[in-house]
């Protein structure tokens, strides 16, 4: 479409940036789910009178989650540079960018999962308790499977948000599509690159959303499917 503008070098740059974005988002989402799932389940089950009742821990973790979530992402990226360096060995580059992305994704995913788990009918928890299930069995066999369609939708939302966040990690040399758009599209006045970056992002988000929706629908057995 832009034979004169999108040179092979630019196209390979866009390709590389897309891969970087996908890597950052995928790893951050994976790690975010790894930490966020247990955290979310705990937040959903640890208030007074609940399965893992420990109101104090719930309050502390809840506050921590809120604090992280209320920090603007770009400030978070800068604020945790020492931590990033500790984990990744450097504070610059795509690998380093995964640290703040994960730190931002974890509480976000935790809240989404908390919401999904809280939606599970308490009657099911009671039924499982009446069968003699341990709290962990209740989580594994009842809460998570029953919340799964909502969890998948939540993770889809988190992925889309992460694609957005990943554009900001260019600030620490994170690379990826956002970085490409800023450096080439904006700073070098190359509107074709900017347009291409936006187009790729639109396609990515569209793809993630429709795969997520489809998966959630398939997992949801609550609707009659004749």
Q: Which residues bind other proteins (CB under 8 A)?
A: 121, 123-124, 126-134, 137, 141-142, 145-146, 148, 219, 221-226
Output the smallest distance, CB 27 to other proteins, in A.
Answer: 29
Shortest distance in whole angstroms from residue 58 CB to other proteins? 18
Q: In angstroms, what is the minimal distance from the CB of 108 to other proteins?
A: 24
Reported residue count of the chain is 226
The H-assigned helical ranges of 71-186 are 73-79, 81-88, 94-118, 122-130, 135-138, 144-166, 177-180
Least distance (Å) from other proteins to the CB of residue 151?
Answer: 11
Q: Which is nearer to other proteins, 79 or 144 (CB)?
A: 144
Which CB atom, from 44 or from 80, has the smaller least distance to other proteins?
44
Min dist. Cβ of residue 223 to other proteins (A): 6
Pick between residue 82 and residue 132 the one whose CB is nearest to other proteins. Answer: 132
C-alpha distances in Å from residue 10, one per residue of 17, 175, 184? 10, 14, 9
- Residue among 138 and 208 whose Cβ is closer to other proteins: 138
Centroid of chain to Cα 82: 22
CA 131 to CA 158: how far, in whole Å?
35
Integer Cα distance of 6 and 22 in angstroms? 21
State which residue, 148 or 157, has the beta carbon closest to other proteins: 148
Do residues 71 and 145 lie in contact, with contact meaning Cβ atoms separated by under 8 Å? no
């Amino acid at each position: 479409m832009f034979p004169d503008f999108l040179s092979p070098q630019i196209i390979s740059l866009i390709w590389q940036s897309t891969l970087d974005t996908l890597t950052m988002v995928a790893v951050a989402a994976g790690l975010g789910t790894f930490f966020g799932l247990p955290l979310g389940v705990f937040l959903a089950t640890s208030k007074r009178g609940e399965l893992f009742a420990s109101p104090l821990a719930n309050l502390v973790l809840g506050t921590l989650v809120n604090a992280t979530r209320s920090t603007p992402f770009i400030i978070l990226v800068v604020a945790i540079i020492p931590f990033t360096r500790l984990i990744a060995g450097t504070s610059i580059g795509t690998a380093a960018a995964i640290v703040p992305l994960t730190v931002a994704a974890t509480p976000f995913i935790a809240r989404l999962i908390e919401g999904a788990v809280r939606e599970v009918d308490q009657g099911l928890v009671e039924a499982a308790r009446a069968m003699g299930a341990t709290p962990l069995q209740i989580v594994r066999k009842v809460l998570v499977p029953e919340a799964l369609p909502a969890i998948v939708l939540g993770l889809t939302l988190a992925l889309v948000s992460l694609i957005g966040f990943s554009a900001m990690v260019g600030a620490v040399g994170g690379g990826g599509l956002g970085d490409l758009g800023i450096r080439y599209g904006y700073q070098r006045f190359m509107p074709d690159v900017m347009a291409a970056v936006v187009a790729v992002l639109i396609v990515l988000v569209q793809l993630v959303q429709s795969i997520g929706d489809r998966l959630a629908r398939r997992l949801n057995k609550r609707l009659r499917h004749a």
